[in-house]
Chains A and B, each alone.
Chain A
Amino acid sequence: MDNENKLRVKGPGSARRQFPADTARMACGVGLLGLGLSLYARHAKALPPAAIRPPGAIPEAEFSAACIRCGMCVRDCPFDILLLAKPEEPMSTGTPYFVARQAPCEMCEDIPCIKACPTNALDHSLTDITKSKMGLAVLVDQETCLNFLGLRCDICYRVCPVLDKAITLDPQNNLRTGKHTLFIPVVHSEHCTGCGLCEKACPTEIAAIKVFPLYLAKGQLSAHYRLGWVEKEKAGGSLVAPDVEHQYNMPEGMQYEHGKGLSAVPPAPISPVEPVGLPKAFQGGKL
């Protein structure tokens, strides 16, 4: 007979005395295991730079809780771009991602991956694929981008499915030749879906333009920052007093000129003029 049965032959009393100690031991052990797992889970909460979530993926912190790791999205992707994370990959095991340089999202109009998803890990209210935000393209290497070097590669610009919106070409002077134009690819985050077609297509050995998860690719202004020109447009006019010419308080009869320094004011014909140099507000006028 195996030990387990032998134990059962003992009287109920000994089993009962055993109980609190056993329970405490078990609770501690299992608690430690839970702690270890939770700590281990933390490393899996951020996405590695090359891993892009499928379209409609909810923010990363919630994604790993909402996704049931079923792979339905993987199966229904007609281009077979999606993979499920393996345990050794530094993200939540079993959750879907793609690597743009290997196989980018082709931005299916009917978004079958979202339709297949049985959870809210992929947001079912996203019906227009051009509104998706899988990541953001960043022209990471200006030293190897062919357009930066003065050539007309333009490939990223041309393959972009949100043509002429997500990437535009910004003409600049080619200072090296002095007479040509550089066509600088500029990514616009409000239109870029992060599909990764540009990264896939970039002809350089290692892509000069890369798609990153949004948390890596996008900066954010501090909340109290206001852009003057935006505020001006919103208010329909300037919000500050117009600039006035700067005044130096010089010894009488002297003037100051940049680079020359102090000099005597040349005598000028005296004419009756209004007082200048005071802000309008102090002139009794209105703003």
Chain B
Amino acid sequence: MSAGFLRPGAEAIAEKGWLLAHKWLILRRASQIGILLLFLVGPWFKWWIVKGNLNYSYTLDFLPLTDAFQFVQLLAARQIPETIAIIGAGLVVLFYWLVGGRTYCSWVCPVNLVTDLANWLRARLGLKGGAHLSRQTRYWIFGMALVATALSGTLVWEMVNPVTLLQRGLIFGMGFAWTVILAVFLFDLFVMRHGWCGHFCPVGVCYSLIGKFSLLRVKLPAREACNDCMDCFAVCPEQQVIRPALKAINGRAPIILDENCTNCGRCIDVCSKNVFRFGARIGAATGAGAVAPLPK
């Protein structure tokens, strides 16, 4: 099977053309970099469209947005912020309930640019193997971060959180925060495939919890057309989410309901048979247990 030796997506490029086979990737990068730039043009050119950072921001002097994980950490530390930050948290939860929880990871988080680069390089260099760990580890870290916060009375995770260290660093001054980012990069490159985002990051966990119920999902209306090229598994950062929907395990509906799907759209891009597309969760319940999330 010669196709197995081609790079994932080669078939899709041949079938759909380069642009269509990279559509969601391009949009995603535009979103990640665009959001970063929105924060940066303030300090760079004094165009204050957005003030603050991903923890809390204030856009065009009317729109407050509070990061969900920061908000949960504040609550764990028994701190109730001002009303405006509570409204901001509500808006963020509502937004990610609509567009998918871990959409944050693929479309907003700046660390994703770093870990994606590591993963791309890993594939390019042909690095195989490495450490293995349960993907459930991140839920433990999430719990640990909140317990440690409650016990110590300070936002413990914020001392090492690469997401905020990187974004705040870029906007307000980096200091030695780059060392943490470099560590994440090297870890993902040499030690563990999809290491940080796939196994450790509690920010992603927090958004995945919102994503349990979210509306926008990847659907597989043409799953019968799948020719088992495995390209979607090869590119998906959370490949365990695909199988139940693609292979109709336990009669599952053709929709990815796992909360850890990041809605990155890589599977849509890479599939030459156009199996995947984005769609709403509503009306997708054709099979039993379609709406219930996967049991762990």
Contacts and interface: CB of A to CB of B under 8 A. Distances in A.
Nearest to B177: A87
Nearest to A27: B140
A75 B155 contact: no
Interface string B159-188: 110001100110111111101100000000
B2 interface: no
A66 to B, nearest CB: 4
Interface of chain A: mostly helix, strand, loop or mixed: helix
B132 interface: yes
A61 interface: yes
B106 interface: no
A44 interface: yes
A163 interface: no
Interface stretch (A117-125, A149-157, A216-224, A232-240): A117-125
Contacts of A64: 154-155
Contacts of B82: 117-120, 124
Given A2-B193, A69-B168, A88 B137 contact: no
Contacts of B153: 61-62, 65
B112 interface: no
B57 interface: yes
Contacts of B160: 37
Interface string B64-77: 10110010001001
Contacts of A29: 137
Interface in A28-79: 29-31, 33-34, 37-38, 40-42, 44-45, 61-62, 64-66, 68-72, 74-76
A165 to B, nearest CB: 32
A132 to B, nearest CB: 18
B53 A86 contact: no
B152 interface: yes
Contacts of B169: 86
B279 to A, nearest CB: 26
Indicate the size class of the contact surface on chain B. Answer: 35 or more
A68 B70 contact: yes
Contacts of A65: 74, 77-79, 149, 153-155
B141 A30 contact: yes
Interface in A113-142: 116-120, 124
B144 A33 contact: yes
A112 to B, nearest CB: 12
Interface string B39-70: 00010000010011101111000001011001
A124 B233 CA distance: 52
B56 A37 contact: no
A70 B159 contact: no
Given A26-B134, A71-B172, A75-B42, A93 B158 contact: yes
A88 B168 CA distance: 14
Contacts of B77: 65-66
Given A22-B134, A65-B78, A72-B56, A40 B159 contact: yes
A72 B52 contact: yes
Contacts of A4: 132, 239-240
B144 A69 contact: no
A8 B129 CA distance: 16
A33 B159 CA distance: 13
A159 interface: no
Contacts of A2: 193, 239
Nearest to B180: A87
Contact of A70 (B53, B79, B132, B143): B53
Given A37-B160, A38-B156, A41-B154, 10 more contacts: A2-B239, A8-B240, A38-B148, A41-B159, A62-B79, A65-B155, A68-B81, A75-B42, A87-B179, A92-B155
Interface of B: 42, 48, 51-53, 55-58, 64, 66-67, 70, 74, 77-82, 84-85, 88, 129, 132-134, 136-137, 140-141, 143-145, 147-149, 151-160, 164-165, 168-169, 171-177, 179-180, 193, 230, 233, 239-240, 243
Top 6 A-B pairs, shortest CB-CB distance: A86-B175, A70-B56, A65-B77, A118-B85, A119-B81, A34-B144
